[in-house]
Amino acid sequence: MPFIKIDVLREDITREKKQELIKKISEAVTTVLNKDPHLTHIMINEVEDDNWGYAGEQVSVLKEQGFSTEKK
């Protein structure tokens, strides 16, 4: 029984985006690992910018300096 935990920054992640993420990850686990999707558990944990660090700095501070998590 696969259990997959995904940590993401709490940004513009809508209910629909979460559903798509859950669906696609479940499909990948089924295809790659040959696991029953009904036994695959996925948990999405949203983390505040102040609680996530990167390169020695809080993401909230990096965003104030122009850092973006959007795909370029």
- Beta pairing partners, 4: 42
Give the pLDDT band of residue 56 (cuts 50, 70, 90). very high
For this structure, is 37 an active site residue?
no
Q: Which two tokens stand for residue 57?
A: 């700095």
Superfamily of domain 3-65: Macrophage Migration Inhibitory Factor (3.30.429.10)
- The mean pLDDT of 49-58, rounded to a whole number, is 92
| 3-state class (DSSP) for residue 49 | helix
Pairing of strands 53-54, 57-58: antiparallel
Rounded-to-integer distance, Cα 18 and Cα 41, Å? 13
Is pLDDT at 39 greater than 90 in this prediction? yes
Rounded-to-integer distance, Cα 36 and Cα 23, Å? 13
Q: Which of 2, 9, 35, 42 is catalytic?
A: 2
